[in-house]
Structure 1
Amino acid sequence: MPQWLNIILRSVILVIVLFLLTKWLGKKQLSQLSFFEYVAGITIGSIAAEISTGLETNFFHGLYSMFIWTAIPFFAGLLAIKSKKARDFIEGRETVVIKDGKIQEENLTSQKYTVEELLHLLRKKNAFQVSDVEFAVLEANGDLNVLLKKEKQPITPQDLNLDIAPVKVPETVILEGQIMDSGLAASGLTREWLDVELQKQGIAQDNVFIGQVDSYGQLTVDLYDDKIQLPEPQEKPLLLSSMKKCQADLESYALATENEKAKQMYEKHSVKLAEIIRKSEYLLKN
């Protein structure tokens, strides 16, 4: 067999074997590696490269070695699931590097991190000042998780006592110019509705790279031609404006009427509508 053909066959077989071995180890191998898995992954890759091009190397001996190097982290992972001590030894433990806005120098040094590296990780978490951080933990896989102090955290609807409806996953209704009937069906919409929405925005279906419908039934699109300026949706602002006008009219009627019962009725409904506007204004502005 020619050497070039031998290399091709070896490489194809090893790609399949590596794929199967990685599937066997599980998705954790792809997302976060312990020290043990990191070393095993490098070694397995080196073995695969060697037996792929090293024609003088026994092919099956290389496969045996790869299986061994895969089996060890696999069974080590099973052991880590069963034992907390084994898990701490194999995968490592989290380390507190900031507490009450103060850097824990000893813990930082023990993990071989410099202050500059810590500040870099903090900036990636949108924390630009150490004193703003209540708690920061360096996880075993190298990720930094940050808890900002209460007064530095972004305001949420809950802080404003706003009731927010649950948001559903947006459904894709157009993909690369093609209508996705499954997305329309999941949203309870039809092709006729989609045609009307596209006409409102003056968009041709063929020019839509991706179109999605949010949980409020609003269509947003990304076009192939990015130079085209899309009009901002006006349904929500118009609804908010109408609600405010109705509330103002109720107040006017309450002031204008001399009938005491009618005045109380207008004032009562004006207060109710004002409360509805307060709770829904956040949604209708975004």
Structure 2
Amino acid sequence: MPQMSQMPEWIEVIVRTLGAIIGLFALTRLLGKRQISQLSFFEYITGITIGDLAAYISMDLKNDWYLGLISLAVWVLVSLGIEFLQIKSKIARNFIDSKGTVLIKDGKILEDNLKKERLTNEELIEQLRKKNVFRASEVEFAVIEPSGEINVLVKKEYQPLTPSDLGIKVSPENEPQTVILDGKIMDEPLATLGYNRKWLNTELEKIGVSVDNVYLGQVDTYGQLYVDLFDDEIKVPEPQQKASLLAQLKKCEADLEMFSLSTSDEQGKKMYEQCSKQLDQVIKDIKPILTT
């Protein structure tokens, strides 16, 4: 295949670079998102090599550009073959990516495993702080994954208390829907929530904002509208009365249920349970009013 010798070198560099960008983009899409998230050892080497080959295709004017593309294609095919092999074989996964290594168990740092992974105790402590853990003794289990990330399981007594621990069922909360973007109303998310433009304009009037001044507008599970304006100098009041009232009522109901679970007095337990059930019924009755 002939070289691009008939055109000026600067034009040839531009053409080669554009070709390398297009080819690299296509091949990266073929390799999948994992290549740009957490890399294994082989994927790390592949990424460096592919980048070097793309630079070769762009700048090495003395050699045929298609040779670089052939090499690039071979690397991608090898990468795909290895990924397929890893999917099919656990032995191959362990050999290529290695396995996770336990660094802390039952609050005890395993020094030999730290040395094996070439980690210092200062680096381990730094990684624990990133997980909001400041004492190694609080860690039940810590493992370094093949990607290099350290995951931590804190001992039960140091984990925050959740409604599940108290036997309290919490209703699911849907993700907020973006109903205004760059000053434009998004009809589909509005319809998903069961609202329309008339409702949205009414909500905007309540806070004294026009839709063309809204950079981002979102509606939460309780039907509450939150906006961020193009003009950051304007302070928008947060109309949370309905959502706040509903949240407070739910908190009270959860507190009553928690009291019933924590007390050992049978009479008090029955009283709290009864009050909790009554308040739960009240919440169900008034929820349609507070979410419209």
TM-score normalised by length of structure 1: 0.83
Match of 1:14 in 2: 20
CA contact (8 A) 1:243 1:277 kept: no
Q: In 2, distance between residues paired with 1:278 and 1:130?
A: 44
SS at match of 1:229: coil
Offset from partner CA, 1:116-159 (integer Å, 9 cap, x none): 11111111111122111111111000111111111211222212
Match of 1:234 in 2: 241
Match of 2:278 in 1: 273
Name the stretch that deviates more: 192-201 or 87-96: 192-201
Match of 2:214 in 1: 208
Where do 1:110-129 residues align within 5 Å?
110-129=116-135
Structure 1 residues 269, 65: closer, same or farther in 2, change over 3 A? closer
Question: How far 1:225 sits from its partner (Å)?
Answer: 2.7
Offset from partner CA, 1:66-118 (integer Å, 9 cap, x none): 11111112111111111111111111111111111111111111111111111
Match of 2:62 in 1: 56
Match of 1:143 in 2: 149
SS at match of 2:44: helix
Q: In 2, distance between residues paired with 1:121 and 1:74?
A: 32
- Which runs of no fewer than 5 residues in structure 2 stay unpaired? 1-6, 252-271, 285-289
Question: What amino acid maps onto 1:236 in structure 2?
Answer: A
Q: In 2, distance between residues paired with 1:176 and 1:184?
A: 16
Name the stretch that deviates more: 201-210 or 179-188: 201-210
Q: In 2, distance between residues paired with 1:270 and 1:9?
A: 76
CA contact (8 A) 1:80 1:87 kept: yes
Where do 1:130-209 residues align within 5 Å?
130-209=136-215
Question: What amino acid maps onto 1:7 in structure 2?
Answer: V
Q: In 2, distance between residues paired with 1:276 and 1:187?
A: 24
Question: How far 1:13 sits from its partner (Å)?
Answer: 0.8
Match of 2:36 in 1: 30
Structure 1 residues 189, 2: closer, same or farther in 2, change over 3 A? same
Q: In 2, distance between residues paired with 1:26 and 1:16?
A: 16
Q: Does 1:73 align with 2:79?
A: yes
Q: In 1, distance between residues paired with 2:125 and 2:12?
A: 51
- Which runs of no fewer than 5 residues in structure 1 stay unpaired? 245-266
Q: In 1, distance between residues paired with 2:226 and 2:102?
A: 43
Name the stretch that deviates more: 54-63 or 232-241: 232-241
Q: In 2, distance between residues paired with 1:24 and 1:163?
A: 44
SS at match of 2:222: coil
SS at match of 2:203: helix
Name the stretch that deviates more: 78-87 or 197-206: 197-206
Question: What amino acid maps onto 1:77 in structure 2?
Answer: E
Q: In 2, distance between residues paired with 1:271 and 1:165?
A: 15
CA contact (8 A) 2:40 2:147 kept: yes
Question: How far 1:3 sits from its partner (Å)?
Answer: 0.5
Offset from partner CA, 1:239-258 (integer Å, 9 cap, x none): 577999xxxxxxxxxxxxxx
Q: Does 1:217 align with 2:228?
A: no
TM-score normalised by length of structure 2: 0.81
Structure 1 residues 204, 235: closer, same or farther in 2, change over 3 A? same
SS at match of 2:215: strand
